[in-house]
Amino acid sequence: MRFLIPALVVCVFVSACDGPFGLFADEEEKEQAVMKVTKNEDVLKAEENQETLTITVESEGAFAEDVTEDMGAIVEEPEENTEETQPLEPEEPPKATNIDKLSVENGESVSLDPNWEYASFSKINSGTAVFYKAPGENRCGIRVGINAGHGTKGGTEVKTYCHPDMTPKVTGGTTAAGSIEAVAVSGGMSFKDGTSEASMTLKLARLIRDKLLEAGYDVLMLRDGDDVQLDNVARTVICNNVADCHVSIHFDGDGLDYDKGCFYISVPDGIKGMPPVDRTYHMSDELGAQIVKALGNNGCKISGNGSMAIDLTQTSYSTIPSVDVEFGNQCTDLSDEHLNALAEGTVNGIEAFYNVSN
């Protein structure tokens, strides 16, 4: 630390066994023994404060020597601010968090506990999710929540708050920007051949489930049938308390006449400071990025840069890494071969997220 000494006042006294000024021959020498030396040169800059330094020395010669030495000590180079110069350590990838998760058995149905955080925001919650435990010794202990989008009868007739703090949406989407409430579960779109999005998200979700179980992951299926009476808030809250991450399966109803490819919904800047998003958005975006990257590596078409920022109810209520992946649009190839490639890419991306090798 450096100090600013605009005026260095030095008082010199001489001490001896026969009195404080016994060594001096007359009063003039005694008067000269008390000196004030003002040093206005070499004023040091300081970052914090200014001080006046009083030094007691035994003689004029000693003063010159000691002050030079002391000043040299004062003007030494300041200590480096290690906090500012120290490079940031890269974040470790998230690990399994089963310690705080609900204990469930293979095949067990999981309903929404009204005491769970944010559960009170749900309006449709009489249905249940289903938990599948990976068989064999290769079980890694990580639980993946798979959410087959849509598939809730009456979901469009009920609305829930877009955000747990009841602030308006910051982007458009199924619900317009500025809205405080959104439909509890949208109905989804139809593919060009008339197939419903809800049926295809369930088919793809089951393929992903089977491949995850084979790879050693436990799976929480938020929708395991054509209809589940769980709105988007309920599905998210159940996932928060049972799973380690949440992957929602969708296809984009963009109205295009060609397949634009896969992308994930990234977290918009406008909600990154809102709890609980502020604790999870970086992991949610990383999960989405890893899945889309793996889909591309598996031969699946990627839309643009692979992401689009949209304010989603799912993201807004998630306390774990959570992402909506759009696996194409109404023109996407629905063949078993292509769906299998989408499922494999998704599992590879989840494994990359958790640093688990294939």
- Among the candidates 28, 62, 85, a domain finishes at 85
Please answer whether residues 161 and 237 qualify as being in contact, where contact means their C-beta atoms are separated by less than 8 angstroms.
Answer: no
Query: Does residue 239 lie in a domain region?
Result: yes
CB neighbourhood size of 340 (10 A): 14
Q: What is the pLDDT of residues 114-153, one digit of tens each?
A: 999 999 999 999 999 999 999 988 899 999 999 999 999 9
71 and 174 in a single domain? The answer is no
Q: What is the pLDDT of residues 308-333, one digit of tens each?
A: 999 999 999 999 999 999 999 999 99
277 vs 87, 101, 177, 289, CA distance in Å? 26, 19, 18, 17
Query: Does residue 358 lie in a domain region?
Result: no
Range of the domain at 38: 1-85
140 and 12 in a single domain? The answer is no
190 and 238 in a single domain? The answer is yes
The pTM score is 0.73
Tell me the pairing of strands 159-161 and 181-183.
Answer: antiparallel
In the structure encoding, which two tokens stand for residue 97, read together?
Answer: 């968090």
- Among the candidates 85, 118, 151, a domain finishes at 85
What tens-digit pLDDT sequence spans the chain (358 residues)?
Answer: 443 334 333 333 333 334 444 444 444 444 444 343 333 344 333 333 343 333 333 333 333 333 333 333 333 443 444 444 343 343 444 444 444 688 999 999 999 999 999 999 999 999 999 999 999 888 999 999 999 999 999 999 999 999 999 999 999 988 999 999 999 999 999 999 999 999 999 999 999 999 999 999 999 999 999 999 999 999 999 999 999 999 999 999 999 999 999 999 999 999 999 999 999 999 999 999 999 999 999 999 999 999 999 999 999 999 999 999 999 999 999 999 999 999 999 999 999 999 853 3
80 and 125 in a single domain? The answer is no
Query: Does residue 93 lie in a domain region?
Result: no
- CATH number of the domain at 269, please: 3.40.630.40
- Among the candidates 58, 85, 112, a domain finishes at 85
Listed in sequence order, the residues at least 6 apart from 1 whose beta carbon sits closer than 8 Å to its beta carbon are 47, 48, 78, 79
177 and 65 in a single domain? The answer is no
Q: How many CA atoms lie within 13 A of 222 on its CB side?
A: 33
17 and 119 in a single domain? The answer is no
50 and 167 in a single domain? The answer is no
Instruction: For 268-288, give one letter per residue: b (16+ CB within 10 A) or e.
Output: bebbeebebbeebbebbbbbb
Query: Smallest Cα–Cα separation from 185: which of 149, 220, 221?
Result: 149
70 and 112 in a single domain? The answer is no
240 and 264 in a single domain? The answer is yes
145 and 281 in a single domain? The answer is yes
The single residue listed with the structure tokens 């068989």 is: 135
- Total structural domains in the chain? 2
